[in-house]
A and B are shown apart, each in its own frame.
Chain A
Amino acid sequence: MSVGVVSQIASARPAIDQAAAPWRRVSLLTIGGTVLAGILIPWLLVRLPIGDYLVTLLILFFMQAVIAQSWNLIMGYGGIYSFAQVALFAVGGWTAAVLVSSLGWNPFVAVLFSPVIAVVAAVGIGLPTLRLRGVYVVLMTLAFHELARVFAVTGPRFISGGGYGLVNVPTFQFGNVIGEQRTIYLYYLAMVIFAIASFVIWRVIHSPLGMAVTALRDSETYAVSRGINQLRVRLILFAISAFFTGLAGGYMTHYNGGISTSVFDFPILIDLLAMIVIGGWGTFGGPILGAAIIIALDQYLVAIGDYRALFEGLIIAGIAVFAPQGMWPLIRNAYDRYLGPEPPARPTPESQRGGVPS
């Protein structure tokens, strides 16, 4: 045993830690800076003439990003082509709306129940669906989407509101705060939801669970033969995804003051799909980036009206075929080059063998 071997083992250890704790790859400075910027931005924006509007756009961005991220979790990482995302969003939204409008609960309390009911719904959808593969999943989840729509339109009056959805639900109230101040509080609430969702989804992706679903996606036979319980793993992932989707649904209901049956319209599903595909399918930051791109572009594309869907469709198809990784790798590479900490040294063949004494 020489000193060299010991030092080799010691130098190998941080590499293992890094793989287990991926958050160490992001420097504290970046996280702190982002959080600080997130807190300060609304105060700066409201000084602009259209600042109020910009803050509401940011709120919209946070929520769309949460939904897109949780969809990407099952679609991109899990390889489960679930189109029930909007249905789960609606379940969350309707839960909050019914609790407030029929039972007279406080919106803040009602929102806490949205994710719970959404998870219950996800387990209900997932049990028959997640055993199946590919196309079957597409169809079954579309079926649930359609069933949810029909139920929302023709269901009992306290749910359907006469066919239009519950369009007159109390909004969030922060005491007597109104105007810009209220928008800022709403912004903080959305930001907290976004931050929690992003963090949890990030942790899930890098957890053994995330590994298991990615393995299932890439080679089901192999993953199952290594002892991964396919249904259980996918069901847990689906539930996590539904949790945040439902939470976003509850928030949006009390933010907009209602939820209408038009959430089931296809353009909404398409926008979400565009976010994932353009941002980067199966990457952590892709959906966030995609949500930002789509919402920003939307402000300009309103003018071109129907052409928007035309281009959106072509862009989705083009990126899916020619650049399946989307836009995220561009950002990722730039970050690694300019902002990220030094990448861990590539393990040499020596250290991989565990420094066998020579």
Chain B
Amino acid sequence: MYDTQIVQAVWGGVLFGSVYGLMALGLTLVWGAVRLLNLAHGAIFIVGAYAAYWVVSSLHLPILVALPFGVLAAAVFAYAMHLVFIRPVIGKPGFDNATLVATVGISISVSAAALLIFNPEYKVVPPELTGSYIVAGVQINYQGLLVIGTSLALFAILYLFLTYTRYGMAIRAVSQQMEAASLMTIPVVQTYGLVIAISGGLAGLAGVLLSPLFFLNPQSGFNPMIQALIVTIFGGLGSVRGALVAGFVLGVFESFVEVFYGVAWALPGVFILIIVMLIVRPNGLFGIGEVRRL
């Protein structure tokens, strides 16, 4: 009986953790490279999810075709957002202010648009994988395993991308010293666009993979985004490794709170943890301060 609960909590925690990690990865990447707090991350999440839903429900294509479509739609949306709202203020004095408010505005508009196009009903996105098996009375479904595997693989890929490829090096150079990077003929503005598009694609992927586990409605991007923000801050803003570790730590913590104290206390519990955490270690788990990021 007690075993079941613990297995339940661990499974839920690892699952949530990997998803939070996936969302946080996009956030932390953008923050680290562009210094942009993208509060529209949750909106991009639902753009991906709704795009996949639309492909499945209207075009009657299998979800495996819809998955890349959703990711692409999210990336394109993020890039369009960059073109219209981010690019004009790059390097201007009020950058933080303007982008913070602008991304809030965008996320309002996206959920309103989702409400108008797809009504407020809960949508069901079919899972990529069906079936499950049972461990100690807990149902482990393959979709969940897919989510965990994908996010771990993406962390590895992103790490390799940032460390070894030319584009990755350009991103890191821009994140460390924008002026110096532009003097080394790195196209700074294009790099910003690249980072934002990658981050959007990650959010879209999270959206498509996650929606089968929960349900999709115009507001459902909000909670994952808040969780991702918490994970990002917990792990240290701009730290990719931190996002991974913090995702699992917070996921398991939340899941235990949920199983033993009830769902209502899950989010407040996490908030209390982060408040304590920020008082003790203001730079996060892998706090790298202002000097080195990514």
Contacts and interface: CB of A to CB of B under 8 A. Distances in A.
Interface of A: 79, 81, 128, 131-132, 134-136, 138-140, 142-144, 146-147, 150, 153-154, 266, 270, 273, 277, 281, 306-318, 320-322, 324
A309 B109 contact: yes
A281 B97 contact: yes
Contacts of A310: 108-109, 112-113, 116
Central interface residue in A136, A147, A309, A317, by most chain B CB within 10 Å: A317
Interface in B85-137: 85, 88-89, 94, 96-113, 115-116
Given A135-B233, A139-B274, A313-B109, A321 B102 contact: yes
B59 interface: no
Given A135-B233, A277-B101, A313-B108, A154 B264 contact: yes
Chain B interface size, under 10 / 10 to 19 / 20 to 34 / 35 or more: 35 or more
Given A321-B88, A324-B94, A324-B97, A143 B105 contact: no
B278 A136 contact: yes
What's the dominant secondary structure at chain A's contact region?
Answer: helix
B243 interface: no
Contacts of B187: none
Given A128-B275, A134-B37, A147-B271, A139 B101 contact: no
A321 B90 CA distance: 10
B112 A135 contact: no
Contacts of B101: 273, 277, 281, 316-317, 320
Nearest to A276: B101
Given A147-B268, A310-B116, A316-B108, 15 more contacts: A79-B97, A128-B279, A134-B37, A135-B31, A139-B226, A142-B226, A147-B272, A309-B109, A310-B108, A312-B109, A312-B112, A313-B110, A314-B106, A317-B104, A320-B101
Given A134-B96, A139-B230, A313 B271 contact: no
A153 B237 CA distance: 32
Contacts of A277: 101, 105
10 contacts: A79-B97, A81-B100, A138-B39, A273-B101, A281-B101, A312-B108, A312-B112, A313-B105, A314-B105, A317-B102
B68 interface: no
Contacts of A143: 271, 274-275
B233 A136 contact: yes
B229 interface: yes
Contact of B102 (A153, A312, A320): A320
A311 B116 CA distance: 12
Interface of B: 31, 37, 39, 85, 88-89, 94, 96-113, 115-116, 222, 226, 229-230, 233, 237, 264-265, 267-268, 271-272, 274-275, 278-279, 282
B96 A128 contact: no
10 nearest A-B residue pairs (beta carbon): A313-B109, A313-B108, A317-B105, A316-B105, A309-B112, A320-B101, A143-B271, A310-B112, A317-B102, A320-B102
Given A310-B109, A313-B109, A321-B85, A135 B102 contact: no
Contact of B108 (A140, A281, A307, A309): A309
Given A143-B275, A273-B101, A277-B101, A138 B108 contact: no
Given A281-B97, A316-B108, A140 B278 contact: yes
Given A314-B109, A316-B104, A135 B268 contact: no
Nearest to A305: B116
Nearest to B282: A132
B37 A317 contact: no
A146 B37 CA distance: 20
A316 B102 contact: yes
A140 B116 contact: no
A139 to B, nearest CB: 5
Given A273-B104, A307-B116, A135 B98 contact: no
Contacts of B98: 320-321, 324
A163 B267 CA distance: 17
A142 B227 CA distance: 11
Contacts of A306: 112, 115-116
A317 B89 contact: no
Contacts of B267: 146, 150
A269 B96 CA distance: 20
Contacts of B272: 147
A248 to B, nearest CB: 22
A343 B241 CA distance: 57
A183 to B, nearest CB: 33
Nearest to B113: A310
Contacts of A313: 105-110, 112
A312 B104 CA distance: 11
B102 A270 contact: no
Nearest to A309: B112
Contacts of B271: 143-144, 146-147
B42 to A, nearest CB: 11
Central interface residue in A138, A144, A310, by most chain B CB within 10 Å: A310
Nearest to B119: A306
A151 to B, nearest CB: 8
